Amino acid sequence: MNSYRRPGLVLTDHRFTVPLDHGDPGGETIEIYAREAVAASRAGDGTLPWLLYLEGGPGFGARRFIGTEAWIGRAVREFRVLLLDQRGTGLSTPANRQTLPLRGGPREQAAYLAHFRADSIVRDCELVRHRLAGGKPWTVLGQSFGGFCAVHYLSAAPEGLEEVLITGGLPSLDGHADDVYRAAYPRIERKVAAHYARYPQDVARARAITAYLAEHRPESAGYRLTPESFQSLGIMLGGADGSHQLHHLLENAFVTGPHGTELSDAFQEAVRTANSFAGHPLYAVMHEAIYGQGDRPTAWSAERIRAEFPQFDAAAALAGEGPVLFTGESVHPWHFEVDPALRPLRETAGLLAARTDWPALYDMERLAANDVPVAAAVYHDDMYVDTGHALRTAASIRGLRTWVTSEFEHDGLRASGPRVLDRLLGLVRGESDR
């Protein structure tokens, strides 16, 4: 183990060998990486309980903290924190366009990635808990998709849980991906309307950019800029300062050169940086698979359901006088055409979208009988997780206490400093009434 210091923290690297398929514990193995964080003043305190942090995604490694910023300063006051890089992410055994061909062709790659959902992640956590925490139950903090994993944890291994804290991550327990996106597009439209009300000058800018991309379709470092890829910048609108970031990106889009007006290199690079999946390809490849349960395929749900909302069609918007609407957290087949980090994985993603034998992720009866203390922050009109779905799930988990707030966007855990975590700890322990 390698330990080192950051302001206020002592960090220690941990690596664990786990089965690729937990149903075959003697078979192939992969490596899981996790970083332990403890307050510098309590580094030698062996009595500290563990808090496991599960990052959002899918496909993102745990956040790298420089010091005690955001929520972790509150956490290390009473916990030894484990920041887990879920399988395939961060410093865990990688799964991307460069490594997946080692598995074979697309069918072999899709079969391999079928082991990268919440059920496998939770079984990894249980092995780590026994090896690191001596089998003692621990507290789990799940952000977004990490909350989905936490709800599966409650379904599959509640004996490993002391208490559960969920931020913006209560999934629909029995909804298909179609239900998720059918609820999402009107919510996205509201976020776009709010952005244009805040920055009305961006309506004309977005139309001009979309028209330019429809005619020219430039590339930046191999990434193809199309009207659809430009629209996907709307994912920024789910964060606390995302609307402002999007506005500042749009206001410097064009430059005049010897051949007339064109998109600036700076703008094209900013769009590529914002949209590329090179650092988190599993987010695209596995995104709809996290909703798969039973024999009904996801079948590129976001793309199919988008057709029910013609106001998102960029060409139609340009043909009329309406605004070009941005989109949000949705993955489409065209992502695997415009992004060089995803192009080699297009067929693999298609096979996952066609899969019809996903195991169930949530045990409704077990959740209804839950006796693990649980508290969840539900962000009102969250762009990424539907509030209605979240509240129905909350009502299905016995004893779960909710805090519904419009003060924060989906990134409230990060943006609030210690406030969201402190509130949830108070709720889960009965120290706060609401």
Kindly report each contact of residues 255-263 with a partner whose C-beta sits within 8 Å and lies 24 or more positions away, as own/partner: 262/212, 262/216, 263/209, 263/212, 263/213, 263/216, 263/218, 263/225
CA–CA separation, 195 and 233 (whole Å): 12
The CA-to-CA distance between both ends of the chain, in Å, stands at 42
- Which of these is catalytic: 259, 295, 357, 433? 357
410 is catalytic: yes
357 is catalytic: yes
The neighbouring-strand residues paired with 19 are: 29
Q: Which residues of 183-212 are buried (b: 16+ CB within 10 A; e: fewer)?
A: bbbebbbebbeebbeebeebeebbbbbbeb
Catalytic residue selected from 176, 280, 332, 410: 410
Name the nearest CA neighbour of 116 among 302, 277, 328, 355. 355
The CA distance from 119 to 379, in Å, is: 25
Q: Which two tokens stand for residue 345?
A: 């994985």
Burial pattern 327-360, b for ≥16 Cβ within 10 A else e, equals: bbbbbbebbbebbbbbebbbebbebbbebeebee
User: In Å, what is the CA distance from 71 to each residue of 7, 68, 76, 257?
Assistant: 15, 8, 9, 47
Listed in sequence order, the residues at least 6 apart from 241 whose beta carbon sits closer than 8 Å to its beta carbon are 415
Which token pair is 245?
């970031």
Q: Rg of the chain over CA atoms, in angstroms?
A: 22
Residue closest to 168 by CA, chosen among 426, 431, 420? 420
> Can you tell me the distance from the alpha carbon of 381 to that of 404, in angstroms, rounded to the nearest whole number?
10
* Contact status, residue 399 vs residue 373, Cβ threshold 8 Å: yes
Q: Give the Å distances, CA to CA, from 86 to 56, 130, 176.
A: 10, 17, 24
Token match 């941005």: residue?
326
Give the Cα separation of 315 and 323 in Å (integer).
11
CA–CA separation, 106 vs 114, rounded Å? 12
Of the candidates 92, 120, 144, 301, the residue annotated as catalytic is: 144
Tell me the catalytic residues.
144, 357, 410
